[in-house]
Structure 1
C-alpha cells in the first residue's frame, strides 16, 4: 500500500548551487539516509541524485521491499535530487532505492551511494546508521600539524585488514575491536609512525583487495560497524600512530547495486567508453568533467578526514587518471582539446581535491600513487602543481629491486641502477614504497627475490631495508616484510606468523624496529628528506667493491650522519672514505649486528685521520661488514 512520504529537505538553494557547480564538498551532510525528527516524529530523511529517473522509491525491511510504497519527491529546481521524510524508520533498517528510469522505463535497485553502513557482502543492502561517537584523540589531533609535517619522520606500515592476522580457532579475520588491541600494539612495537589501510570502503569482491568500491562512505562491515572502526582509529591515535587510507577515485565496478548506470544513464561514469571504461580492470571511470561527480568525490575524501579523523589519503592509480591513453592502444583514445594525451578534467579535479583537503584540515597529507614522470605531482597548486603532499617513488622501487635480485658478483656492473635515483630524488616529495603490488602475481616475496645462500638472503633483506631507511624520502613497507615472508602475499590467508619462531626471521623484525628507531631519532634522516641540502655523496663510483657512501644532513651540522652500504658478501677490513671534518666516528647502526642475525662485524669508535681522500681533507678507515649497512655519527 502506497504511504505518504512527507516533503522535507536538508538542501538550501545555496547547497543546490554549489552541487551543480561542482563546489559542494560536504554532500554527506545532505545526501543519504539521515535519522532526524520532524514535527516531533522520528524517522529518516532520504535524498538521492537520479536526474534520469521517472520514479524513485525507498524499499526495505519496513515495507517488505515493495516498490512504490514509499516514493520520493523530485525537487523542482532541476537538480535531479529525489528526497523525502519517512516516519518510523530506525537505525539498523536495511534499504535500497528502486529507480524507474526515463530510458526505456528500465527498473534498477541500487544501494545508497552515501550509505554510512552496508550489509556484509555478498548481501548488498544499505543500512540506516549514524556516526555518533565519543572521540578521545584531541591531544593527537592538536599535535598532528607538527608530527605529520614533511620535515618529520614518516614511516608507513601498509596493511590489508582481512589477511593481516586470522583468528585461527574460528578461521576468520579479526574484528575492528580485536585490531584495536592486536594491530595497534603491534604497529607501536615495530615503531612505524603511520599505518596505511588498503581500501576499507565497502567492496563486494574479496579478490579486488578493496579497490573495487561500491560503498564509498561506509567502512566495510566485514570487521564490524562504523563506531567500531572509529574506535580503531581512536586507538591508533592514542598510541601516537597516524592513519592513512587508500582512496580510489580512479574507477569503480559494474556491480548492479553500485554506481554504474545508476539511474539508467551514465551518471557517475563518463559516457564515452574511451574515457569511461577501464579495459584492464573491467571497471568504470568517473566522469571528472561533470560537476556533480566532482562534488561527490571530493565530498567523499573530506568525509573520511572529517568524520573518521583520518590523517592522510593515499590516492590510488593516479597515472590512470592523468592520461587519456593510459593502457590503451592507438585508436582507443582521443586527444584533449589541445591535441595532448593529458586528461584535463582529471588534472583539474585533482588540483581541486588537494586545494580543499589542505585548506580544510591542518596536518593531513595526500600521497599520490603515480608511476610516470608527470611533473610537479607533489608541488603546490598555486605554482602549477597537482598539490599532493607526497608521491610514490616507483622508479626507485623498480631499480632497487632489480639490483637486489642480481647475484652480488654481478652488481659491480650495475652500480648505476642503485645510484640513479639520486639524480631525480629531489624533484618531488618522494615516498619509497615496497608495497603489496611487489609481492603478488609471481613477483615473489621480498625475501624470495634475494640471491645467495640462506644467510646471504637474510643479509640482503636487512641491507635492502637499511638502504631504504637511509635514502632520502619517507618510507612504506607492506605487512609481512618485517618477518621475512617466504611466500607471496595471499589475500585469503594470514601472514606466516610462525616464522617468528626462527632467529633469522626475528632478526628481520628486530632490524626494522631498529631502523624505525634510527629514523625517528636522527634529525639528519628526516629534517631535509625532500631537499638536496640533506644529502651529499661521499662516493658513488666504487663499482668494483659495490659500495656506496654518503652523508645525510639535518638543520644542525652536529646531527650529520655517514652511511656506507656494502652490497657484496666480502668483508672490507680497511675501507677508506673521505671526510671534511675532524674528530671521531661512532657506529650507531649496523645491519650485520648479531642481534639481527648478522655476523657481528662492526666498528668501535674510529679516529678521523688528517689524510685527504675522495677530494676531502680528512679520512677514516672503516671495517665494512658483508652485505651490510653501517651508520656513523661524527663526534
Structure 2
C-alpha cells in the first residue's frame, strides 16, 4: 500500500497501521540512507524539525496535502532526540513531542527519540504458536507496577533523584526479567499484567496519564529491553498483559494537548474536553483519532507480542462522564466496537479485557451480536461484595449471606475475571489483609479464606503485587514491596499457602475447563449449619473430576453435613493447616459428606 493510501485510511478512521507512516523511520531515499519524519498537524502554519543533531535549530518541514508535514534527514543516529517546532495560526511557536515516537527521553526531559524497532530477534515461536484466550485453560494473573515491585538499593547512580537515593533505583526491563520471571514461576502465576508502560511524565500517575502512545517508557530502558522481558516471559511459559488507557491523555503542553494550536486529538468544545482528573478526553468523533488509538493498540500487539490488553476506565467510554444514569457515549462505544472487532479479526489469540464498573450488557459479546467485543470483564461487583462481607463482624454476617452469594446470580451474563487489583490497596483503602475484620491472627485466617474462595469461585483471577505476601502497607509507587515481611512466620506461611492455591488452580481441571458453563457449578445445601457456612461444587467438562469448596465465616467451629457430597472425597487444602499458621483442624483423606472446620476457615475437596 502506498503512502497516499495509508494517509487516506488514517484520515478516514480505517487505519490500524498508522505507525508505519507517521513518526520517524529509517528509509533509503535520494540514493542515501536516512530518517524520514512525518507528522499530522492540520492547523499549523509552519513546522520545523529540531533536535540534538541540529543544536535545536529548526529545519523546515515540507507541507503536503491534508495537513501532513514531512522531512528527510541523513546522518541521524539511533537515540537522537527531537521535537516538532510548531507555529500556530495565532503566531505562537511551541515545541512538541512526536505523537508516533517509538522511544522518548527519560523524564523530566520530554523529547522524542529516534529508535528503529524492527530488528529485535524474537525467540518465542513456541509460545506464540500455542497461546489462546484461555477460556478453558487455567489463568492466574499477577498485576504489577514495574517501578516499585522491587528496587535496587545498592547501586544508586550519581545522577539519581532524591527519591531514588532514599528508596532505591528502579530496575531496568532486563533486570526485571532476571528477578521477576523466576519469582512468578515459583508463585504459580500463569500471566503478568503490567500497569501502563506508554510513556508518561508524572510517576504518581502510575502510567494512566500518558503522552507517548507508541513509546515504551524510558524509565526502565529502551524498547528492546521491554521486548526482551516479554520474550523471556514467553520462553518461561508466562503470558504478558498490558494495561492501556484509551480514554484520556495529559494536559502537559509538549504532548497531544492542542497539538498544533488547534484541537487535533480532543474536542473543540470545552465542555466535552476535560475529565474529572484534569486530563483531556480523546475525541472519537474524529476519524483520525480512531485510527490513532487503533494503531497504538495494534502496535503493542504486533511489535511487543503482547498476549492481552486490559482497557482502563471502560465505563467512561460507555457513558458520558462514566455515569450510568447519563446518556450513552456513542463515539466511545463506536470506538470500542470498531477497535475490538478489528483486533479480534487480526489477532484472534490475543485477549481483550475491560475494566468496567457499569452494568452495561454484552461487554464480552462480539460486536456483530451487539456487544463491545471484549473477551473478559473485571468483576468489580464480586470484589466489592466479597471485601464488604469480610470487613463485617462475623456476627453481622448471619444477615448478609446474599452479599457473598450474589456474584453467581449474574456471573454467566458476561465472561469475568475476579480482580483484587492496585485500586484496592491505595488512597486510604487499606491493603487486602488489612481490610479483614479482626485482630492480627483473625485477619490472616480470613485472608486465607478469601483466597480460597477466590480460587474456587468460577472466573479467572487477578492479584496485585504484595497481596501474596500479606502486605500491610498501602502501595506506594516510590517504594518497593516489603520483602522483609517474608522473615516473619505469619507472612512466610501465608505466601506458602498462596503458592499452593495457585498450583492447585493450575492443576485441577474442574477449576478451569468449565468456568463459564453454568451446568458445572452448584451451591450445596448445608442443613443445620450456621448462616456463615457456604459450600459449592464445580465439575470438569468430562464430569470425571469435582472440586468442592466448604467455608466457615463464623467464629465457632462447625461440623458440616453436606448431603450433596456423595462418594469419597479427599482434602486438597485446608486454610487451618498448621503449615499455614492455622490451628490444625483438618479432615482425613476419606471424607463422606461431613466436614470439620475451625472458625474462619475453609477447605477444598476433590473427587476423581
Report SS of the residue matched to 1:62.
coil
Give 1:560's aligned residue: 546
* TM-fit CA distance, 1:540: 7.7
Query: Quick check: 1:459–1:627 contact (8 Å CA) kept in 2?
Result: yes
Tell me, in whole angstroms, the C-alpha distance in 1 between the residues paired with 2:346 and 2:19: 16
User: Structure 1's 236 and 540: CA in aligned 2 closer, same or farther, altered over 3 A?
Assistant: farther
What pairs up with 1:201-220 in 2 under 5 angstroms? 201-220=198-217
Give 1:144's aligned residue: 131
Tell me, in whole angstroms, the C-alpha distance in 2 between the residues paired with 1:282 and 1:541: 55
Give 2:160's aligned residue: none
User: Within the alignment, does 1:577 sit opposite 2:562 as a pair?
Assistant: yes
Report SS of the residue matched to 2:298.
helix
Report SS of the residue matched to 1:271.
coil
Once the two structures are superposed, what CA deviation does each residue of 1:575-613 show, in whole Å capped at 9, x if it has no partner?
Answer: 1001274x31111121222222222211113353xxxxx
Tell me, in whole angstroms, the C-alpha distance in 2 between the residues paired with 1:227 and 1:48: 24
Tell me, in whole angstroms, the C-alpha distance in 1 between the residues paired with 2:2 and 2:366: 33
Once the two structures are superposed, what CA deviation does each residue of 1:6-33 show, in whole Å capped at 9, x if it has no partner?
Answer: xxxx953321221122011011111100
Query: Quick check: 2:364–2:376 contact (8 Å CA) kept in 1?
Result: yes
Report SS of the residue matched to 2:406.
helix
Report SS of the residue matched to 1:432.
strand
* TM-fit CA distance, 1:553: 1.6
Contiguous gaps of at least 5 residues in structure 2: 157-167
Query: Quick check: 1:35–1:91 contact (8 Å CA) kept in 2?
Result: no
Corresponding residue to 2:122 among 135, 138, 153: 135
Give 2:163's aligned residue: none
What pairs up with 1:196-345 in 2 under 5 angstroms? 196-278=193-275, 280-326=276-322, 341-345=327-331
What pairs up with 1:104-503 in 2 under 5 angstroms? 104-131=90-117, 132-145=119-132, 148-169=133-154, 170=156, 171-278=168-275, 280-326=276-322, 341-503=327-489
User: Within the alignment, does 1:629 sit opposite 2:573 as a pair?
Assistant: no
User: Within the alignment, does 1:35 sit opposite 2:26 as a pair?
Assistant: yes
* TM-fit CA distance, 1:327: 5.6
* TM-fit CA distance, 1:451: 1.7
User: Within the alignment, does 1:55 sit opposite 2:46 as a pair?
Assistant: yes
* TM-fit CA distance, 1:569: 3.5
Report SS of the residue matched to 1:557.
coil
Tell me, in whole angstroms, the C-alpha distance in 2 between the residues paired with 1:545 and 1:343: 43
Give 2:534's aligned residue: 548
* TM-fit CA distance, 1:407: 1.8
Once the two structures are superposed, what CA deviation does each residue of 1:426-467 show, in whole Å capped at 9, x if it has no partner?
Answer: 111011111010011111111111122221111111111110
* TM-fit CA distance, 1:134: 0.6
Report SS of the residue matched to 1:37.
strand
Report SS of the residue matched to 1:440.
coil
Aligned length: 595
Query: Quick check: 2:536–2:548 contact (8 Å CA) kept in 1?
Result: yes
Larger deviation, residues 456-465 vs 591-600: 591-600
Once the two structures are superposed, what CA deviation does each residue of 1:455-500 show, in whole Å capped at 9, x if it has no partner?
Answer: 1111111111110111111101000000011111111111100000
* TM-fit CA distance, 1:325: 4.0
Once the two structures are superposed, what CA deviation does each residue of 1:45-103 show, in whole Å capped at 9, x if it has no partner?
Answer: 00101001111110001111113xx1111223xx211112112212111100001122x
Give 2:164's aligned residue: none
Report SS of the residue matched to 1:63.
coil
Tell me, in whole angstroms, the C-alpha distance in 1 between the residues paired with 2:381 and 2:531: 24
Once the two structures are superposed, what CA deviation does each residue of 1:200-259 show, in whole Å capped at 9, x if it has no partner?
Answer: 111000110110100111111111111111110111111101000000001100001110
Query: Quick check: 2:47–2:85 contact (8 Å CA) kept in 1?
Result: yes
Tell me, in whole angstroms, the C-alpha distance in 2 between the residues paired with 1:541 and 1:38: 81
* TM-fit CA distance, 1:542: 7.3
Report SS of the residue matched to 1:604.
coil
Tell me, in whole angstroms, the C-alpha distance in 2 between the residues paired with 1:101 and 1:199: 32
RMSD, aligned α-carbons: 1.6
TM-score normalised by length of structure 1 = 0.91
Tell me, in whole angstroms, the C-alpha distance in 1 between the residues paired with 2:352 and 2:149: 24
Query: Quick check: 1:275–1:324 contact (8 Å CA) kept in 2?
Result: no
* TM-fit CA distance, 1:125: 0.5
Taking CA–CA contacts closer than 8 Å with sequence separation of 6 or more, which of the two structures ends up with the larger relative contact order? 2
Report SS of the residue matched to 1:58.
strand
Larger deviation, residues 540-549 vs 397-406: 540-549
Give 1:75's aligned residue: 64
Corresponding residue to 2:56 among 21, 44, 65: 65
User: Within the alignment, does 1:590 sit opposite 2:562 as a pair?
Assistant: no
Query: Quick check: 2:3–2:21 contact (8 Å CA) kept in 1?
Result: no
Query: Quick check: 1:250–1:286 contact (8 Å CA) kept in 2?
Result: yes
Query: Quick check: 2:458–2:515 contact (8 Å CA) kept in 1?
Result: yes
Tell me, in whole angstroms, the C-alpha distance in 1 between the residues paired with 2:394 and 2:528: 14
User: Within the alignment, does 1:101 sit opposite 2:88 as a pair?
Assistant: yes
Query: Quick check: 2:552–2:600 contact (8 Å CA) kept in 1?
Result: yes
* TM-fit CA distance, 1:362: 3.2
Once the two structures are superposed, what CA deviation does each residue of 1:354-403 show, in whole Å capped at 9, x if it has no partner?
Answer: 11111111311010000010111011111100000000111111111111
Report SS of the residue matched to 1:584.
coil
TM-score normalised by length of structure 2 = 0.95
* TM-fit CA distance, 1:508: 1.7
Query: Quick check: 1:54–1:101 contact (8 Å CA) kept in 2?
Result: yes
Tell me, in whole angstroms, the C-alpha distance in 2 between the residues paired with 1:194 and 1:625: 33
Tell me, in whole angstroms, the C-alpha distance in 2 between the residues paired with 1:58 and 1:401: 54
Report SS of the residue matched to 1:401.
helix
* TM-fit CA distance, 1:343: 0.8
